Structure 1
Amino acid sequence: MDAKKLALDLLTRYRSVVLVGVGLPVGLAFEAALRVRTKLYDLLGAAPERHDEKVRDIQDQVSRWAAQPEAERKPMCTDRKTWMNLSTRFEPKHRWHQVRMGKLRDILSVDLEARTVHVEPFVTVGQATSYLIDKGYMLAVNLEIAEATLGGLAMAVGMTTHSHKVGLLSETVVAYELVTAQGELLRVTADSHPDLYRALPWSHGTLGLLVGLELKIIPVKSHVHLRYEPSASQAQYCARINELATMDDAPDFLEATVYSREQAVIIKGEFAEPITPEQKAKINPIGRWYKPWFYTHVRQYLRGEGDEYIPLRHYLLRHNRSIFWVVEHMIPGGNHPVFRALLGWMMPPKIAFLKFSTTPAVRKMTFTKQVFQDITLPMSAMAQAVNRSDELFDIYPILLYPCRIYDRGPGSGQLRHPAPEDRVEGTDHAMYFDLGVYGVPGPIQRGEKFKTVHAMREMEAFTQSVRGFPFLYADTFMTRAEFEEMFDLSLYREVRAKYGAQGAFPDLYDKIKPELEVLAVLDEEDAWELDGERAEPSEQAEQAEVIEGPWSRLAKLRHQHDAG
């Protein structure tokens, strides 16, 4: 065995050890470097002038690309490393022409009167959150993961627990600044370029190069008053979420964490300023490094209602330390009090390092042995969706986030317009919800063989049947024909032709499809001889141990204790 193969094998099998021993310190150093850079930037100022220069440089790069003989042109993409984005896949950027855009990472200005913020595309959620909260504002759609970039979310999709009031992140975009395939700079608004404006969300950088973004912001208070409402009935929590989401005086924030098919905790939040001694006594800074992970903290409210005041910054990034519950599978035992006390201050592992340290074997395991999906479905299908997820994956907890989906009519973007029966009466929108399913399927955790890709394709078929859609940051298991049936690409194709994007940028399906061959994995799964019995031993069980790492037994015991 050569040294490289040995190193890859060790990195695969002992990945959780590498993440703790290397990933956490490296991530901490990286974060410190970013903070120093931000401070230096604040001292130097003059962002607008640098922004114009950087945009002109990108226009020059595109012009040079266009000047090449047509046969030599490769589709363009950004030079952002694939391991730096939040997508689960690894894009084949080596096949494309990479445009240098890495300097576009600054907040340019804020207009408090218009309630908008002007940013470059690689500004992160964490960066924007810190900047705006200090001014008494936040993004109208503010993701929970600090490393997500606003440009990536604008070109893909973003949704949060405020989305039942405002919709997807694309609904909060006032203007896109886009460099076209001809090197032209456009300021794209709903009035100036209505076709392009509607087609840019979900386009994943296949219509042009995003160089700037203007987003809506909303005024805030220092804390969020959270009320926890347990439910021991699926019918009850489905009906209650729909009721709360569609009320005229709906809470500012709304979500549910589901711990079993019948058990959930509904979480309602309102902006608040705790003043009285009784209110101040209920302040809980959940984002501090020694605190339990948020979803484990919420689990206690299955036993009864409760409320507390969370500092706004902590609430907005409440799932950041545990990356929802994904870290539990990467660093089992990471929520143990001893681990939090000794190493919690270095959490979470940087997502960029997680992808950077992903070997081919680990990547195939994340594709075939784990589920990372956000699926948006009509509210009327909530019970069906939870049941289908339970039958197919047996993964808990899962998330439910209600969200408005506006009805713009046929051919108005990649999302198909809601069915009339899903419209909220007297409004221009339907109420949908995001189903967040993340983790290792229950059968694999139990050491059983499990056709993960088959299950994902069944979930996609169910999603299609109820007029839902998956977020495309995650692996897509559809064929091209199935993808074009789920999404409406009529306007997208018109815009591709009108603005010269065909051949200049990758096609949407080519951009978002996994680098692994879905049909080949399906053939592998079909070749298994399944007799319904527990594998003794199962290759999948061994691979699940690689995913979970040497602290898996401790984590499972801790989970049993928390559940009890």
Structure 2
Amino acid sequence: MPAAVVNAQSAHAAGVQRLLQRYRAVPATAPIRLAKRTSNLFRTRSKTGATGLDTSGLTGVISVDAAAQTADVAGMCTYDDLVAETLRYGLVPLVVPQLKTITLGGAVTGLGIESTSFRNGLPHESVLELDVLTGAGEVLTVSSSENTALYRAFPNSYGTLGYAVRLRIELEPVKPFVALAHVRFHSPVDLVAAIDGIMATGSLDGVAVDYLDGVVFSADESYLCVGRQTGAPGPVSDYTGQQIYYRSMRHERGVTTDRLTIYDYLWR
């Protein structure tokens, strides 16, 4: 086993032990929370005096198995860090929520969605197994064959059933670029009909669809953004500065096209 993997596994094991020690030191009647610096909740929250559990050792990718197309990932690992690691192998998670600071554990316990969801579902549907810190202060491995009730109930439980400290997820191969078609619609009915067709066939006008999302600006201006992976070299757009991606798709009628690297597409 490569030294880097051994080191990552050791660091993760130490992080789990710190988490357990902190949890077991909390009085039985005291509220708890995960101690983290960021949140992706788009609402205000009242300050709390609840004890924050140390998650400092649970933020990385533990290992990637390129042959099996799986990754073992700490629960507090952000998708930004996860994608940066898996892309080294030409792989990505089956669903990559668009905010870089969303954590894998958060997307599974709180759900998430993105432009591959029409074919890959939600993030929890590609989780093969998890290690969950339960309210009893123990870490249980759960999967479709072990502790199955917790495995099935954990998605969308928002921390009420425990915290994910490790997740093994499926990955899928990707090509270096994404070719985009922005299809203009003047009626929501027509847009929905086009979505139905793509869902039924996996294609648009005979071309396979890998990514599907859209934007509605008004009742008579909406767009489907249809993406197809490609290895063909060519110019790509850059929306990392003052250029704003969603504004780039607006046009009067028909279809416009664009190209992005796979990395820039995921974080568009």
Q: TM-score, normalised by structure 2?
A: 0.90
Segments of structure 2 that go 5 or more residues without pairing to the other structure are none
- The equivalent of 2:81 in structure 1 is 127
Deviations 1:14-62 (A, max 9, x none): xxxxxxxxxxxxxxxxxxxxxxxxxxxx989811111111112222223
- The equivalent of 1:261 in structure 2 is 219
Question: Residues 60 and 183 of structure 1 are in contact (CA less than 8 Å); yes or no, is this contact kept in structure 2?
Answer: no
Question: Residues 109 and 118 of structure 1 are in contact (CA less than 8 Å); yes or no, is this contact kept in structure 2?
Answer: yes
**Mapping of residues 205-220 of structure 1, within 5 Å:** 205-220=159-174
Q: Choose 148-157 or 54-63, whichever is displaced more.
A: 54-63
Question: Where does structure 1 differ by over 3 angstroms across 4 or more consecutive aligned residues?
Answer: 42-45, 89-93
**Mapping of residues 499-538 of structure 1, within 5 Å:** none
- Say which of 290, 296, 307 aligns to 2:257: 307
Question: Residues 5 and 63 of structure 2 are in contact (CA less than 8 Å); yes or no, is this contact kept in structure 1?
Answer: no
- The equivalent of 2:238 in structure 1 is 286
How far apart, in 2, do the equivalents of 1:194 and 1:43 lie? 32
- The equivalent of 1:152 in structure 2 is 106
Tell me: CA distance 1:47–1:87, structure 2 relative to 1, closer, same or farther (3 Å): same
- The equivalent of 2:13 in structure 1 is 52
- The equivalent of 2:65 in structure 1 is 111
- After TM superposition, give the deviation of residue 262 of structure 1 in Å: 2.2
How far apart, in 2, do the equivalents of 1:270 and 1:104 lie? 34
Tell me: CA distance 1:309–1:95, structure 2 relative to 1, closer, same or farther (3 Å): same
Tell me: CA distance 1:238–1:85, structure 2 relative to 1, closer, same or farther (3 Å): same
How far apart, in 2, do the equivalents of 1:91 and 1:256 lie? 30
How far apart, in 2, do the equivalents of 1:90 and 1:127 lie? 26
Tell me: CA distance 1:93–1:174, structure 2 relative to 1, closer, same or farther (3 Å): farther
How far apart, in 1, do the equivalents of 2:152 and 2:33 lie? 21
Tell me: CA distance 1:209–1:266, structure 2 relative to 1, closer, same or farther (3 Å): closer
Q: TM-score, normalised by structure 1?
A: 0.44
Tell me: CA distance 1:303–1:165, structure 2 relative to 1, closer, same or farther (3 Å): same
How far apart, in 2, do the equivalents of 1:122 and 1:316 lie? 19
- After TM superposition, give the deviation of residue 93 of structure 1 in Å: 6.0
**Mapping of residues 342-357 of structure 1, within 5 Å:** none
**Mapping of residues 57-456 of structure 1, within 5 Å:** 57-65=18-26, 68=27, 70=28, 73-81=29-37, 84-92=38-46, 94-249=48-203, 251-275=209-233, 280=234, 283-290=235-242, 292-300=243-251, 302-318=252-268
- After TM superposition, give the deviation of residue 222 of structure 1 in Å: 0.4
How far apart, in 1, do the equivalents of 2:264 and 2:194 lie? 26
Question: What secondary structure, in the 3-state scheme, does the structure 1 residue paired with 2:192 have?
Answer: helix
Question: Residues 237 and 258 of structure 2 are in contact (CA less than 8 Å); yes or no, is this contact kept in structure 1?
Answer: no
How far apart, in 2, do the equivalents of 1:212 and 1:144 lie? 21
- After TM superposition, give the deviation of residue 210 of structure 1 in Å: 1.9
Q: How many residues align?
A: 262
- After TM superposition, give the deviation of residue 244 of structure 1 in Å: 0.8
Structure 1: which amino acid aligns with 2:66? L
- After TM superposition, give the deviation of residue 226 of structure 1 in Å: 0.9
- After TM superposition, give the deviation of residue 110 of structure 1 in Å: 0.5
Deviations 1:151-177 (A, max 9, x none): 211110111100000111111111111
Question: What secondary structure, in the 3-state scheme, does the structure 1 residue paired with 2:48 have?
Answer: helix
Segments of structure 1 that go 5 or more residues without pairing to the other structure are 1-41, 319-564
How far apart, in 2, do the equivalents of 1:243 and 1:43 lie? 46
Question: What secondary structure, in the 3-state scheme, does the structure 2 residue paired with 1:259 have?
Answer: strand
Question: Residues 79 and 96 of structure 2 are in contact (CA less than 8 Å); yes or no, is this contact kept in structure 1?
Answer: yes
Tell me: CA distance 1:44–1:253, structure 2 relative to 1, closer, same or farther (3 Å): closer
For the aligned residue pairs, the C-alpha RMSD in angstroms reads: 2.1
Question: Residues 222 and 273 of structure 1 are in contact (CA less than 8 Å); yes or no, is this contact kept in structure 2?
Answer: yes
Structure in which a larger fraction of residues adopt helix: 1
How far apart, in 2, do the equivalents of 1:79 and 1:308 lie? 41
Deviations 1:251-271 (A, max 9, x none): 110112111112211111111
Structure in which a larger fraction of residues adopt strand: 2
Deviations 1:501-546 (A, max 9, x none): xxxxxxxxxxxxxxxxxxxxxxxxxxxxxxxxxxxxxxxxxxxxxx
Question: Residues 75 and 97 of structure 1 are in contact (CA less than 8 Å); yes or no, is this contact kept in structure 2?
Answer: yes
- After TM superposition, give the deviation of residue 296 of structure 1 in Å: 0.6
Find the structure with the greater CA-based Rg.
1
How far apart, in 2, do the equivalents of 1:137 and 1:43 lie? 19
* Identity among equivalent pairs (%): 24
How far apart, in 2, do the equivalents of 1:258 and 1:98 lie? 40
How far apart, in 2, do the equivalents of 1:64 and 1:102 lie? 17
